[in-house]
Amino acid sequence: MPTTVDLLIRNARPVTCVDDDCAVSPASYIAIAEGRIAAIGPTASLPSTLTAHEEIDAEGALLTPGLIDCHTHLVYAGDRAREFEMRLKGASYEEIAKAGGGILSTVRHTREANAADLMAQSARRLKGLIQHGVTTVEIKSGYGLSLKAELKCLQVARSLGQTHPIDVRTTLLAAHALPPEFAGRPDDYIDHVVEHIVPEAARLQLADAVDAFCENIAFTPAQTRRVFEAARAHELPVKLHAEQLSNQGGAALAAEFDALSADHLEHLDEAGVFAMARAGTVAVLLPGAYYFLRDTHLPPVALLRDYGVPIAISTDCNPGTSPTTHLPLMMNMACTLFRLTPAEALLGVTRHAARALGLSASKGTVEPGKQADLCLWDADHPAELSYAIGASPLRARIHRGSVTNQ
Ligand code: NIG
Ligand code: FE
């Protein structure tokens, strides 16, 4: 460790998230240099010669890794409040989608918005995530569905990361829905995706991963396979919206392509769980969408545990099925709706969420060498982070070693 560091946090009680039980360590110091954790240790072992440009007395606050929201559709224009009303009167998500509403209604608004407008609307949501302790967010495209509009959304996502104190990872989700100009010709649209959209997003380095919506109202496993093959040809890792409304065998297909994650998974079966375990694919559970769609088909949490599949939790922030930026509330819902333990919920927004983005080497735990993305919480025990409904006891948020919210 250098003799002078940039930031020294004293009297914190770290929950490093290295162990599965999320145990609280005794009072510790954390030294940060050049945006990384330089050292961490019990207060008594703090070297007396160490000086720091800035110090924080945490006064016994809990310290966790910065939260990671590993699945969002944060860049979009407009809202779908009217559709929410229709669903409350009895229309189903599938019926609204088949009638040209749903994702396609957001596509219309998103295509019409210019980049500055899209950026302003999306920045409001990004600030919501930041306020709740999120230091890394994944943002998918998928409301453009044309080469130009998909690239616009990815570019906006990248710009959001450059102008806000948060790391953004982008995912190309061109295979989210069939755009109107390809109505009745899904294979032609997939041709367009694999021949033009994936190559161009890769060439411009606008996508860190590729995703698809494999579902009876979206794309078949065969079409999804073609998207994955294109991603592989451009050396991009894949993720998948799988088994949300029905069991299509999407998770096993994703595992075949060594997917970083398969997400939603309410209808996942044991064969899918087995395939994910073998490939090391993370299960990303999205309790906000489950709640908002008033779903009753629970994801197979016990099987995921039995097979040792890492479970991540995310907001799925989007206008149709999960209009929220409250990641701690998703932790609460993961516990109450899916019966995760508070420790599992915390790992789901830290270590396992980092893995779902392929970022385990630099994020997700509090360890020397990791990026200094941290949260301080006015809480005695990590269970309190999942316990509060709609409030989060965030005291300070640190991104790349800089305090950004206190
Ligand atoms: O993750 N499932 C597909 N995509 C989104 C919903 C998109 C929308 O309805 O706008 C999801 O739930
Ligand atoms: Fe989603």
pLDDT one-digit tens code per residue, 138-179: 999 999 999 999 999 999 999 999 999 999 999 999 999 999
Say what the pTM is. 0.97
Distance 45 CA to ligand 2 centre (A): 45
Ligand 1 pocket, 72 CB below 6 A? no
User: In this structure, what token pair is assigned to residue 382?
Assistant: 């990590």
pLDDT tens per residue across span 104-135? 999 999 999 999 999 999 999 999 999 999 99
- Of ligand 1's listed atoms, the one at least distance from the Cα of 215 is 2
Domain with CATH 2.30.40.10 in the chain: 3-65+365-403
- Its CATH class, for the domain covering 67-356, is alpha beta
How far apart are the CA of 23 and the centre of ligand 2, in A?
31
The better pLDDT of the pair 200, 390 is held by: 200
Q: Is 280's pLDDT higher than 60?
A: yes
Question: Does the structure show a pLDDT above 70 at 198?
Answer: yes
Distance 119 CA to ligand 1 centre (A): 20
CB atoms within 10 A of CB 182: 18
Distance from C-alpha of 100 to C-alpha of 201, rounded to nearest angstrom? 27
Average predicted confidence (pLDDT) for the chain = 97
**Is residue 295 within 6 Å of ligand 1 at its C-beta?**
no
Tell me the pLDDT tens digit for each residue of 13-31.
Answer: 999 999 999 999 999 999 9
Give the pLDDT of residue 211: 99
Q: Say what the pLDDT of residue 43 is.
A: 93
Average pLDDT over residues 311-326: 98
The string of pLDDT tens digits covering residues 201-225 is 999 999 999 999 999 999 999 999 9
Tell me the average pLDDT across 389-393. Answer: 89
Give the whole-angstrom CA distance, residue 320 versus residue 316. Answer: 10
- CATH of 3-65+365-403 given 3.40.50.10490, 3.40.50.300, 2.30.40.10, 3.40.50.11810: 2.30.40.10
* 3 state SS of 282: strand
Q: What is the pLDDT of residues 230-276, one digit of tens each?
A: 999 999 999 999 999 999 999 999 999 999 999 999 999 999 999 99
Residue 121 beta carbon below 6 angstroms from any ligand 1 atom: no
Q: Which amino acid is at 207?
A: A
User: Is the CB of 110 within 6 Å of ligand 1?
Assistant: no
Decide whether any atom of ligand 1 lies within 6 Å of the 324 Cβ. no
**C-beta of 288 in contact with ligand 1 (< 6 A):** no
The DSSP result for 112-172, as a single string, is: HS-HHHHHHHHHHHHHHHHHTTEEEEEEE--S--SHHHHHHHHHHHHHHHHHSSSEEEEEE
The residues of the chain that CATH labels 3.20.20.140 are 67-356
